Chain A
């Protein structure tokens, strides 16, 4: 008899999974359809660009500088084992632009932005503010969701580009002060081996990460269940799922962009 209960549990879990996939697909469809027909709230979008992008600059910048600096030390320490200390500038630049810049930026933004978006929209949901938007003839998808998703999509590549520059700067500072590299040689080696494709591929990744963070942050916010606990759960889910999705997408995109 026990096996019947196990099968029932599996069936129940499968149904919940299917329901969630359906709800998420419907959410994506609504973003696309409402985004197409408008209206587009420019002021809200610009506000979100500042909140999501500009205000994230300090945390992204500091993370990039310290990561670049640590990366330079690690590569130098590893490189000395086979007399390849001179690769430090190029490996730092390529590593930051292709991998660490977009991924760290994506993870930081998953923590900072996805959480704040889902908490804000979740609070609006449990305090009937979303219902009020509907009754005031203002569609929440146009007013809340689309400006945030778009702001994330645009901000992430810009933040990543800033992070790339600051990460390379971090490596440069450690290289010339601690590792006694000649500043001119360091910069020449950085530029010599860094290709435009390295930078562009990182920015493409960042664009995808921005979409993931924006979509998952707003999705969990809009599907918040009742009460303060519901808002807390929505926030946790948005951060966890955004982070996992960013890492999974990073692997897939790396395979698509670099694997030949």
Chain B
């Protein structure tokens, strides 16, 4: 089967006040591929996500979506329509109920949204991520960290986007909840056959979920390969990550 390239990042550079945050980053994401970007704190992972999402302007370089360069606002909008993002801190809207958070994209962007239908769909997504139906009526502040993370995941998959992005999905969770979230993400990607990018410093997550791993250090790609190659790699930093 010929794999179509979903995202291509070419020579991405980000400079803030003379400081090189990202240096010549290039990679591709094919359909049904799960790219995991790992790196220690301050390596530039979060900035890379922000650049990808268009939240930060690039200093130089380019990002292509389905072969088309993302440049103007319209391209950005079309790209974002095809993205589902789960943020590190969940970024749930605290003045909206859980189901409204999940269905937000449709609820506030469709011309005349069918609220009942959207609520039903949102409850369906809640069940998909393993949360009880009654959570739909709760506000985010009434949920535990693990539940909020699941709601964040439910929101990212609500509109069945082409590409899923998970930013530090296990940060701040206990080991048991982390394992549950890792297996939930794995199941979602496997079932939906979507392309996905996960940003993490958790090598276990990368080894379990990734089809391709990129290791970033000081804003540069230090190593790239698949999980099996990672095990036999002689890269010192990667070894530190693998051996703990």
The segment from A98-106, A134-142, A192-200 found at the interface with B is A134-142
Q: Is the CB of B89 within 8 A of A127?
A: yes
**Distance in Å: Cβ of B96 to nearest Cβ of chain A:** 10
- The complex places the Cα of A137 from the Cα of B108 at a distance, in Å, of 9
A128 at the interface (CB under 8 A from B): yes
Q: Is the CB of B91 within 8 A of A129?
A: yes
Chain A residues contacting B81 (CB-CB under 8 Å) are 137
Pick from A41, A132, A143: contact of B87, CB under 8 Å: A132
Q: Is the CB of A135 within 8 A of B89?
A: no
Q: Is the CB of B109 within 8 A of A138?
A: yes
B93 at the interface (CB under 8 A from A): yes
- The complex places the Cα of A104 from the Cα of B102 at a distance, in Å, of 42
A131 at the interface (CB under 8 A from B): yes
**Distance in Å: Cβ of A136 to nearest Cβ of chain B:** 5
Among B81, B105, B108, residue most surrounded by chain A Cβ atoms (within 10 Å): B108
Q: Chain B interface (Cβ within 8 Å of chain A)?
A: 50, 53-55, 77, 80-81, 83, 85, 87-89, 91-94, 104-105, 108-109, 155
Q: Is the CB of B53 within 8 A of A134?
A: yes
Chain A residues contacting B50 (CB-CB under 8 Å) are 131
Chain A to chain B: the 10 pairs with minimum beta-carbon distance, closest first: A132-B91, A128-B91, A135-B85, A136-B105, A128-B87, A129-B91, A137-B80, A131-B55, A128-B89, A136-B104
**Distance in Å: Cβ of B74 to nearest Cβ of chain A:** 12
Chain A residues contacting B89 (CB-CB under 8 Å) are 127-128
**Distance in Å: Cβ of B222 to nearest Cβ of chain A:** 26
Can you list 19 A-B contacts with CB-CB less than 8 angstroms, sorted by A residue number?
Answer: A127-B89, A127-B94, A128-B88, A129-B93, A131-B87, A132-B87, A132-B93, A134-B53, A135-B83, A136-B80, A136-B108, A136-B109, A136-B155, A137-B77, A137-B80, A137-B81, A137-B105, A138-B105, A143-B108
- The complex places the Cα of A200 from the Cα of B102 at a distance, in Å, of 46
Chain B residues contacting A143 (CB-CB under 8 Å) are 108
One digit per residue, 1 when the CB lies within 8 angstroms of any chain B CB and 0 when it does not, for chain A 91-126 equals 000000000000000000000000000000000100
Closest to A135 in B: B85
**Distance in Å: Cβ of B4 to nearest Cβ of chain A:** 23
**Distance in Å: Cβ of B53 to nearest Cβ of chain A:** 6
**Distance in Å: Cβ of A36 to nearest Cβ of chain B:** 14
Q: Is the CB of A137 within 8 A of B109?
A: yes
Chain A residues contacting B77 (CB-CB under 8 Å) are 137
Chain A residues contacting B85 (CB-CB under 8 Å) are 132, 135
- The complex places the Cα of A143 from the Cα of B92 at a distance, in Å, of 15
Q: Is the CB of A134 within 8 A of B55?
A: yes
Q: Chain A interface (Cβ within 8 Å of chain B)?
A: 41, 124, 127-129, 131-132, 134-138, 143
Chain A residues contacting B93 (CB-CB under 8 Å) are 124, 129, 132
Chain A residues contacting B54 (CB-CB under 8 Å) are 134
Chain B residues contacting A137 (CB-CB under 8 Å) are 77, 80-81, 105, 109
**Distance in Å: Cβ of A18 to nearest Cβ of chain B:** 16
Chain A residues contacting B104 (CB-CB under 8 Å) are 136, 138
Closest to A132 in B: B91
Pick from B91, B94, B108, B155: contact of A131, CB under 8 Å: B91
Chain A residues contacting B53 (CB-CB under 8 Å) are 131, 134-135
Closest to B95 in A: A120
Chain A residues contacting B108 (CB-CB under 8 Å) are 41, 136, 138, 143
Closest to B77 in A: A137
Q: A132-B85, A134-B53, A134-B54 are in contact. Are A127 and B91 (CB under 8 A)?
A: yes
**Distance in Å: Cβ of A40 to nearest Cβ of chain B:** 12
- The complex places the Cα of A127 from the Cα of B54 at a distance, in Å, of 18
- The complex places the Cα of A208 from the Cα of B184 at a distance, in Å, of 53
Chain A residues contacting B88 (CB-CB under 8 Å) are 128
**Distance in Å: Cβ of B232 to nearest Cβ of chain A:** 37
Chain A residues contacting B92 (CB-CB under 8 Å) are 129, 132
- The complex places the Cα of A41 from the Cα of B113 at a distance, in Å, of 13
Known: A129-B93, A136-B105. 11 other contacts (CB 8 A): A124-B93, A127-B89, A127-B94, A129-B92, A134-B53, A134-B55, A134-B80, A136-B80, A136-B104, A137-B105, A138-B105
Chain B residues contacting A132 (CB-CB under 8 Å) are 85, 87, 91-93
**Distance in Å: Cβ of B118 to nearest Cβ of chain A:** 13
**Distance in Å: Cβ of A260 to nearest Cβ of chain B:** 48
Chain B residues contacting A124 (CB-CB under 8 Å) are 93
**Distance in Å: Cβ of A226 to nearest Cβ of chain B:** 12
**Distance in Å: Cβ of A117 to nearest Cβ of chain B:** 13
- The complex places the Cα of A146 from the Cα of B109 at a distance, in Å, of 16
